[in-house]
Amino acid sequence: MNAVQALKPEAAEPGGDSPTMRLFALLEVIAAKDQRYSLQALASETGLPKPTLHRMLQQLEGAGLLQREDGGRLYGTGTRLRRLAEKVLLNDTHHGARHVVLRRLVDEVGESCNITALSGSEVVYLDRVETAAPLRFYLHPGSRVPAHCSASGKVLLAQMSAAQRQRLLANAPLEKYTAKTLTDLAKLEREIKRVQADGYAVDDEEFLPGLLCLAVLVPAAGGAPNLSNLCVAVQAPIMRLSAAKARLLLPALQRAALALSRIDKAAP
């Protein structure tokens, strides 16, 4: 039974139609697509009466699992739900296997490496292994960095359609962290197009002075890009890693990305 079927009155089954499970099914419907829903659209999608839906939406909004946008007319995923998704990724059963891949990558390239995912307009660090070199930038798992000026963020933004990117970035504070940070949407879009053509992204002191980062996409397990994709990246001070030198590490990053993809593909 899918989420929509679980919401429809005629789809009740023993243990599967409790108020809690119907709220959960409504969350599944809203989280399944990268769009915002009006009350009318949700009524059409689920077959539920508007008064019932309105009451359920109020409960979910009150719990921080949904939030209203566009003057309160549209519903989308809330901060609490996004944080829950991040915790699942941080602590899932494949974390150990991914960590092994990351550790081997650090041993090969000699610099700190991380695995990241997109969360709203930010990038969250799901895992990280630090280099043994004495000079390094320390960022622990769970750290968050802006998408618009990080290598992983630009790679993940490049997986979206132009309309999705515009909607996301139009509502995000494009803060200028360094003299190199791109805060103009047109310039950022040109940078994203370059990332799409190259297959990788570079953060050359765009987020932190003296820090360079190179990131590649972890292919989706089924081979088709989607917004839940992960990135793997290498990060180092510019005194050790220039943009030109970082590009020489691309084969190692791409091998690690494929290894991470195989871990997800092997999931039952």
pLDDT value at position 95? 66
Q: Give the model's confidence band at 229: pLDDT under 50 very low, under 70 low, under 90 confident, else very high.
A: confident
Strand pairing partners for 231? 116, 217
Q: Give the model's confidence band at 38: pLDDT under 50 very low, under 70 low, under 90 confident, else very high.
A: confident
pLDDT value at position 268? 47
Q: Which residue has the higher pLDDT, 227 or 210?
A: 210
Residue ranges covered by each domain of the chain: 3-77, 83-265
pLDDT value at position 57? 82
Query: HSE of 68 in the Cβ direction (CA atoms, 13 Å)?
Result: 12
* 83-265: CATH architecture: 2-Layer Sandwich (3.30)
Predicted model pTM = 0.68
> In terms of Cα–Cα distance, which of 108, 98, 192 is closest to 153?
192
Q: Give the model's confidence band at 183: pLDDT under 50 very low, under 70 low, under 90 confident, else very high.
A: very high
pLDDT value at position 181? 96
Strand 211-218 to strand 230-237: parallel, antiparallel, or no bridges (unpaired)?
A: antiparallel
Evaluate if residue 72 carries a pLDDT over 80: no
Evaluate if residue 134 carries a pLDDT over 60: yes
Q: Which residue has the higher pLDDT, 107 or 1?
A: 107
pLDDT value at position 26? 84
Q: What is the DSSP string of 170-208?
A: HTS-----STT----HHHHHHHHHHHHHHT-EEEESSSS
- Which residue shows structure tokens 């290598």? 151
pLDDT value at position 228? 53
Domain 3-77 and domain 83-265 have a common topology: no
Asked: is 3-77 a CATH 1.10.10.10 domain? The reply is yes
